[in-house]
A and B are shown apart, each in its own frame.
Chain A
């Protein structure tokens, strides 16, 4: 019947337009990078754990050997209890700090926020070096330890508290910022006291934030390499074990086994965090009214004291490192000098190491941001879904669960394999850039996705109805609107690649040693002043980049965000 009404037409063949093919190609590119930089290396690591050094399959023999070696088991136990103790110390401290910033009336919140982020900008080695200045064999305050040694669990835990504090505090600030003033008013009207309100409203709202923070801190401590390397002394932990097996004993197979063991707590933590995040959604309705604290001395004064104490500790530890790097011979000759910054005297790569780090970090920031933001946009808006998009989406979430040391080990096993056509990358800056991008992929990806999801979902549809290619809409609308988020991603990449030790310790070549590795080497060689100087220089560079970002925010906003004004 319809044929009588309508002019008969041959069904037109389904043509995939050029644009759709280009978008698909973009996703394939992202998948290729993630497969080469994550899936294949991790696969190689897994395989090597079941092989002997000659490459023949030995089943679980490596694991059996691991389980029966008491020193290795001890390292695992040490990692667990130091991480647990650090978590118990950091999370309440960070909660108090975050509570003060979000739920109390204290002055200088901006200053406290800035100070809170200080440890993020420094390599984890810096607090360890500063602690050695204070409490080490030649430490000024050594007597305060009553004969205990800072080299070992005490040093590790104190340094980890410093290093993990901002990570926990950031999560808790976010968790405590999402509040509904109406709930507090309801509780007050129902005559609940301050404590009861805290227990029935505040804590339940923040509980998933607390889970997240604990999980993140625990994972950071278990997987961190720099701190136990510098201040751990003879106290074995998992992270230093991997290094010992691989760099010291050249036993890659046992290294792979320890790497997999290291992956376990990280994977568990990752799963717990995903669970907590899922529970969190829906806590707050769209009509929530943000809570604005009113002054109350009984709450504000103790919290202000806590914030000041934390700020003094954070700034103080950095200041000690800076001071230590500037004195002639700690602690006997405290005359100030710049000789420790003459890095060429202490390490073969010298200042070149810093230049390497800057180049790696800048390239990772630029290339990584472009790749990650572009991919996030393709996943959210550009290309149709399907198996390819699901694969990319899944793999993008994995790096968060992979400790840097495991990733670095996986990289050497994969790229150093004689049969790998990508082997030419080994020892180049390119492999360090790829490692950096993959290592920090997930957080950058999530930032990009969050920014893109805030855009109206119909932008691309409108563009299509107006016959404007999606790529043009991406360039004219998506990127300008998301520019602040894009800058955040780039700075995050730069800072983290600049300060990481664990992922790159296996990967550098003779000409590509990064500054953070140079710090480890100078410390190993006993030149702790030079090591501190290098760590301070890294901090100076990351801090200037961060400050530059803050300074340019105003200009960037004027250029691209003028439309936000009403």
Chain B
């Protein structure tokens, strides 16, 4: 019954817009270690998807399986309706930018960008034209004759991008393309990358361990951990409605503490404090849980008094972050972080009222 339903809804989605890239139950084993376990996802044409996770979570393994550089052990990968699971990279249709860029150091920028434009389809005139077009697209026309070592990191990254896009691939793969750059250049290039992707409409998959980067550029994010996909969703969904404790802890900043579901529905008991929590309403009394609260959601002072379940907390520590001041609060054995306006930041040692809004408290069953 449910299978039929799934078929029906999936079929409806397929009629609406057939996914450009389909990854089905893909696993990758290196000897006895499992790098990737039954990963499934789809990417729509023109979509920008990020694989996000800590190092060793399998995100690069999945990207390399899609590229055919390290073919999957089992499962299926389809691109534009074509089964590419076991095709060699050269028989696929993608461009790739590596973390190191892998620019050929002995070839000029021109030669690097035109490296894949060879054979009968690319006579010299056409190739020259295309290379010039790409270099103006990434804003490097005046550097065409330089060697990679003579360019800055950001410029090298753009050459690598131009080279990957040269033959108009249907799919653009980016393996941590920004992580070798310093923070400011990274932010700037990230926006440029996104604008360029929108303009060209090329389906893009990017691997990153930087959640801010993933949130900033993606249509959807695939959060991965230890070879598994934890959650797939828009940046907002992932931030506001994490599917697991891992996602809640990994994406964005959050304080977390252990609690138990209390007797009255929708309340938690944590270190003697009763906290109202919408997420706990469907949980059984006595269930041990892990609760997460984002610092910007913690209510302090007057706004806390209006909320149910407020409590007194002592300020232990404060950290000035520019737009906000992050204070560390101690309530019994619980430690919470809260963001406040720096102009009204409480002093260390001060005791004030705090409350956790019931709809913002994220809870996940804890396995003990």
Judged by a CB distance under 8 angstroms, whether B24 is at the interface is: yes
User: Provided the pairs A461-B69, A465-B96 are in contact, do residues A6 and B78 lie with their beta carbons within 8 angstroms?
Assistant: yes
Judged by a CB distance under 8 angstroms, whether B56 is at the interface is: no
Question: What is the CA–CA distance of A562 and B107 in the complex, to the nearest angstrom?
Answer: 10
Question: What is the CA–CA distance of A476 and B112 in the complex, to the nearest angstrom?
Answer: 11
Docked-complex contact B67 and A466, CB < 8 angstroms: no
Task: Name the segment of A8-16, A71-79, A396-404, A535-543 touching the other chain.
Answer: A8-16
Task: Name the segment of B81-89, B307-315, B330-338 touching the other chain.
Answer: B81-89
Docked-complex contact A566 and B94, CB < 8 angstroms: no
- A458 touches which of B6, B13, B94, B100 (Cβ 8 Å): B100
**Chain A residues, CB < 8 A from B91:** 17
Docked-complex contact A456 and B102, CB < 8 angstroms: yes
**Chain B residues, CB < 8 A from A5:** 10-11, 13-14, 22
With both chains docked as a complex, state the minimum distance between the C-beta of B44 and any C-beta of chain A, in angstroms: 13
Docked-complex contact B106 and A477, CB < 8 angstroms: yes
Judged by a CB distance under 8 angstroms, whether A467 is at the interface is: yes
Chain B 159-175 interface mask (CB, 8 Å, partner A; 1/0): 00001101101000100
Question: What is the CA–CA distance of A11 and B11 in the complex, to the nearest angstrom?
Answer: 22
Question: What is the CA–CA distance of A11 and B75 in the complex, to the nearest angstrom?
Answer: 12
- B105 touches which of A1, A9, A467, A563 (Cβ 8 Å): A563
**Chain A residues, CB < 8 A from B96:** 461-462, 465
Judged by a CB distance under 8 angstroms, whether B136 is at the interface is: no
Judged by a CB distance under 8 angstroms, whether B288 is at the interface is: no
Docked-complex contact B102 and A462, CB < 8 angstroms: yes
Question: What is the CA–CA distance of A458 and B89 in the complex, to the nearest angstrom?
Answer: 13
With both chains docked as a complex, state the minimum distance between the C-beta of B109 and any C-beta of chain A, in angstroms: 11
**Chain A residues, CB < 8 A from B105:** 481, 563-564
Judged by a CB distance under 8 angstroms, whether B257 is at the interface is: no
- List A442-479 residues whose CB lies under 8 Å from chain B: 456-459, 461-469, 472, 476-477
Judged by a CB distance under 8 angstroms, whether B148 is at the interface is: yes
Docked-complex contact A563 and B106, CB < 8 angstroms: yes
Question: What is the CA–CA distance of A410 and B127 in the complex, to the nearest angstrom?
Answer: 56
Judged by a CB distance under 8 angstroms, whether B126 is at the interface is: no
With both chains docked as a complex, state the minimum distance between the C-beta of A425 and any C-beta of chain B, in angstroms: 39
**Chain A residues, CB < 8 A from B89:** 461, 464-465
Q: Which of the listed residues A458, A463, A480 has the most CB atoms from chain B within 10 Å of its own CB? A: A458
Q: Which of the listed residues A5, A6, A7, A468 has the most CB atoms from chain B within 10 Å of its own CB? A: A5
How many A residues have CB within 8 A of the partner chain?
38
**Chain B residues, CB < 8 A from A477:** 104, 106-107
With both chains docked as a complex, state the minimum distance between the C-beta of B76 and any C-beta of chain A, in angstroms: 8
With both chains docked as a complex, state the minimum distance between the C-beta of B12 and any C-beta of chain A, in angstroms: 10
- A11 touches which of B68, B69, B83, B104 (Cβ 8 Å): B83
Docked-complex contact B69 and A464, CB < 8 angstroms: yes
Judged by a CB distance under 8 angstroms, whether B239 is at the interface is: no
Docked-complex contact A4 and B106, CB < 8 angstroms: no
- List A352-389 residues whose CB lies under 8 Å from chain B: none
Closest to A4 in B: B7
Docked-complex contact B98 and A461, CB < 8 angstroms: yes
**Chain A residues, CB < 8 A from B20:** none
Judged by a CB distance under 8 angstroms, whether B147 is at the interface is: yes
Judged by a CB distance under 8 angstroms, whether A2 is at the interface is: yes
- List A131-156 residues whose CB lies under 8 Å from chain B: none
- B118 touches which of A9, A468, A560 (Cβ 8 Å): A468
Judged by a CB distance under 8 angstroms, whether A20 is at the interface is: yes
Judged by a CB distance under 8 angstroms, whether A565 is at the interface is: yes
Judged by a CB distance under 8 angstroms, whether B150 is at the interface is: yes
**Chain B residues, CB < 8 A from A9:** 82-83
With both chains docked as a complex, state the minimum distance between the C-beta of A453 and any C-beta of chain B, in angstroms: 14
User: Provided the pairs A6-B81, A14-B86, A481-B105 are in contact, do residues A465 and B24 lie with their beta carbons within 8 angstroms?
Assistant: no
Judged by a CB distance under 8 angstroms, whether B95 is at the interface is: yes
Question: What is the CA–CA distance of A301 and B314 in the complex, to the nearest angstrom?
Answer: 69
Chain A 15-46 interface mask (CB, 8 Å, partner B; 1/0): 00101100000000000000000000000000
Question: What is the CA–CA distance of A566 and B156 in the complex, to the nearest angstrom?
Answer: 13
Judged by a CB distance under 8 angstroms, whether B149 is at the interface is: yes
**Chain A residues, CB < 8 A from B69:** 461, 464
With both chains docked as a complex, state the minimum distance between the C-beta of A458 and any C-beta of chain B, in angstroms: 4
Docked-complex contact A465 and B118, CB < 8 angstroms: no
- List B308-348 residues whose CB lies under 8 Å from chain A: none
With both chains docked as a complex, state the minimum distance between the C-beta of B170 and any C-beta of chain A, in angstroms: 12
Question: What is the CA–CA distance of A7 and B130 in the complex, to the nearest angstrom?
Answer: 35
**Chain B residues, CB < 8 A from A17:** 88, 90-91
Closest to A20 in B: B88
**Chain B residues, CB < 8 A from A562:** 147
Closest to B78 in A: A6
Judged by a CB distance under 8 angstroms, whether B200 is at the interface is: no
**Chain B residues, CB < 8 A from A11:** 83
Docked-complex contact A466 and B81, CB < 8 angstroms: no
**Chain A residues, CB < 8 A from B83:** 9, 11-12
Closest to B91 in A: A17
Question: What is the CA–CA distance of A7 and B67 in the complex, to the nearest angstrom?
Answer: 21
With both chains docked as a complex, state the minimum distance between the C-beta of B174 and any C-beta of chain A, in angstroms: 12
- A2 touches which of B13, B24, B94, B164 (Cβ 8 Å): B24
Closest to B7 in A: A4
Question: What is the CA–CA distance of A461 and B173 in the complex, to the nearest angstrom?
Answer: 12
With both chains docked as a complex, state the minimum distance between the C-beta of A506 and any C-beta of chain B, in angstroms: 44
Question: What is the CA–CA distance of A481 and B107 in the complex, to the nearest angstrom?
Answer: 10
Docked-complex contact A465 and B95, CB < 8 angstroms: yes
Question: What is the CA–CA distance of A476 and B22 in the complex, to the nearest angstrom?
Answer: 35
With both chains docked as a complex, state the minimum distance between the C-beta of B144 and any C-beta of chain A, in angstroms: 14
Judged by a CB distance under 8 angstroms, whether B116 is at the interface is: yes
User: Provided the pairs A6-B81, A562-B147 are in contact, do residues A466 and B102 lie with their beta carbons within 8 angstroms?
Assistant: no
User: Provided the pairs A6-B81, A481-B105, A560-B106 are in contact, do residues A464 and B88 lie with their beta carbons within 8 angstroms?
Assistant: yes
Judged by a CB distance under 8 angstroms, whether B115 is at the interface is: yes
**Chain B residues, CB < 8 A from A560:** 106
Docked-complex contact B98 and A6, CB < 8 angstroms: no
Docked-complex contact B116 and A466, CB < 8 angstroms: yes
Docked-complex contact A4 and B11, CB < 8 angstroms: yes
Docked-complex contact A469 and B90, CB < 8 angstroms: yes
User: Provided the pairs A464-B69, A563-B149 are in contact, do residues A7 and B81 lie with their beta carbons within 8 angstroms?
Assistant: yes
Chain B 1-29 interface mask (CB, 8 Å, partner A; 1/0): 00100110011011000000010100000
- List B36-92 residues whose CB lies under 8 Å from chain A: 67-69, 76, 78, 81-83, 86, 88-92
Docked-complex contact B104 and A1, CB < 8 angstroms: no
Q: Which of the listed residues B11, B104, B173 has the most CB atoms from chain A within 10 Å of its own CB? A: B104
With both chains docked as a complex, state the minimum distance between the C-beta of A257 and any C-beta of chain B, in angstroms: 43
**Chain B residues, CB < 8 A from A480:** 106
Docked-complex contact A466 and B148, CB < 8 angstroms: no
Question: What is the CA–CA distance of A503 and B169 in the complex, to the nearest angstrom?
Answer: 56
With both chains docked as a complex, state the minimum distance between the C-beta of A478 and any C-beta of chain B, in angstroms: 9
- List A542-566 residues whose CB lies under 8 Å from chain B: 560-566
Query: Could you name 10 residue pairs across A and B whose Cβ atoms are closer than 8 Å?
Result: A456-B98, A461-B69, A462-B102, A462-B163, A463-B115, A465-B94, A468-B115, A476-B107, A563-B147, A565-B149
| Besides the known contacts A476-B104, A563-B106, 12 further A-B residue pairs in the complex with CB atoms under 8 A apart | A2-B24, A4-B7, A4-B14, A5-B10, A5-B22, A458-B102, A462-B115, A465-B94, A465-B96, A465-B164, A466-B116, A480-B106
